[in-house]
Amino acid sequence: MFRKLLAKFRHNSPERLIFIYYFIAIVVATLLLSLPVFYRMDYSEMAFIDILFVASSALSVTGLSSVDIASTFNLWGYIVIMFIMNLGGVGIMAMGTMIWLLLGQKIGLRERMQIRVDTNQYKISGGVRMVIDIIVLMLLIELAGAVYYFFVFLAETGDWNYALLHSTFLSISATTNGGLDLFSGSLTGYDTAYHLQIPVMMQIVLGSIGYPVLIEVRNFLSRRRRHFRFSLFTKVTTATYGGLFVVGAVVIFIMEWKDYFKEYGVIGTLFNSMFLSVTSRSGGLTTVPIDMLDESTQLFMSALMFIGASPSSAGGGIRTTTFAILLLFLIAFSRGRVHIHAFNRNIARADIDRAFAVIALAVFLVFAGVTSIVFLENGKFEVADILFEVTSAFGTAGISTGITSELSNVSKLIIIAFMFIGRIGFISFILFIGGRQHMHSYEFPEERIMVG
């Protein structure tokens, strides 16, 4: 009986297996965080929905939280949350593969297919090598950040224990784009500490720009450069990510220059605008209180969070490459072109179809999520605040206007669902719903319909 169930389970598509693995991981993380040993002695019993919320946020590396992490958990609770953020940041299959390799086990074809899905790749070959590279790079980035932050906090407080804990937690949170913090207010107390803002921004970028990009850059630096060619994915991802960062910083700068940022001066406004633009990719950490920003700025940041980070990264959203394909399609369509070009390459029709499927479903789900929460909360919050919360969860950004803890239990479940979808990726979610893809051996006659 057990063997039959196991065989039936393993017969599922890689997309469905990844979905199930992440669901099981959330269940285990929730049960683990339910143990009283991880809470402060003076903290009263925590509601199950809030435990589930924190576990889902940590695993999906979002950063939204319905409770204050610093005043709720103890040291062991912080350690568990850091582990969960790392698990979500590198991916369940990546972590599982590393453990499997350390135990001396062989990685089979089925596992390699699941690695391909979890890391959002097209090829099975090279998946294990990529997993090792991802984990090594992430650990090195976290270590470098932790060492730097340790000396910053040590100089600030003189407390070695405080510096060690906060530097490690911040480095992991920034690199994995986890967004959770131990400061009970994110980094709002460091709104003019540019020596801290810069490395945090760098870590968020490294965690959200895409692991294949980091690996290619490493390979580029370690080889003779004239014999190296970057992939189309890296070129499109980097160009789109950089463009969104610049546009985001400029627009936020203009919107808040004479409003919330009027006391910061040009330098302070520039740095905080850049930080908000970066953290909208999926960072979750913020140097200014979001609820103090103008509503137009919040709506613009909602759009940035909807786009999200790059594929095969710690971030969510529709992803930068999807947005790039949309822009390139609109440019090509307006000029009467049949094919979409980027860096002297034609983009595959299959990728265009996938991009539009992701955009269509994402718009529908976000609209449905916002509408549902507006209905459930019955006018308790502004629509703009709810839209910000939903896109923050969907893009696994984790920044909030401050309404998270006040949402009803059903609304929190909706936000959890968006965090979950944002982490596993929309392609995996679509294929999970649709099941295995089948190629038909026939085609129907083609006929035109009027559109537009």
Q: What mean pLDDT do residues 25-30 have?
A: 91
What torsion, rounded to 10 degrees, do the Cα atoms 232, 22, 14, 178 define? 10
Tens of pLDDT, residue by residue over 324-382, are 999 999 998 888 887 888 888 888 888 888 889 889 989 999 999 999 999 999 888 99
How many whole angstroms separate alpha carbon 195 and alpha carbon 206?
A: 18
Q: What mean pLDDT do residues 171-186 have?
A: 91
Q: Is the dihedral of CA 40, 393, 429, 239 positive or negative?
A: negative
Q: Which long-range contacts (CB under 8 A, 24 or more apart) does 380-389 make?
A: 380/406, 381/406, 382/295, 384/295, 384/298, 384/299, 384/302, 385/291, 385/298, 387/299, 387/302, 388/290, 388/298, 388/299, 388/301, 388/302, 388/305, 389/64, 389/415
Instruction: Give the pLDDT of residue 2.
Output: 46
Tens of pLDDT, residue by residue over 249-272, are 999 999 999 888 988 989 999 999
Q: Report the candidate in 46, 83, 34, 78 with the shortest Cα–Cα distance to residue 61.
A: 83
- Contact indicator for 307, 248 with CB cutoff of 8 Å: no
pLDDT, greater one: 240 or 357: 240
pTM of the model: 0.89
Helices and strands, counts by H and E, the chain = 19, 2
- Contact indicator for 54, 33 with CB cutoff of 8 Å: yes
Exposure of 92 in the CB half-sphere (CA atoms within 13 A): 23
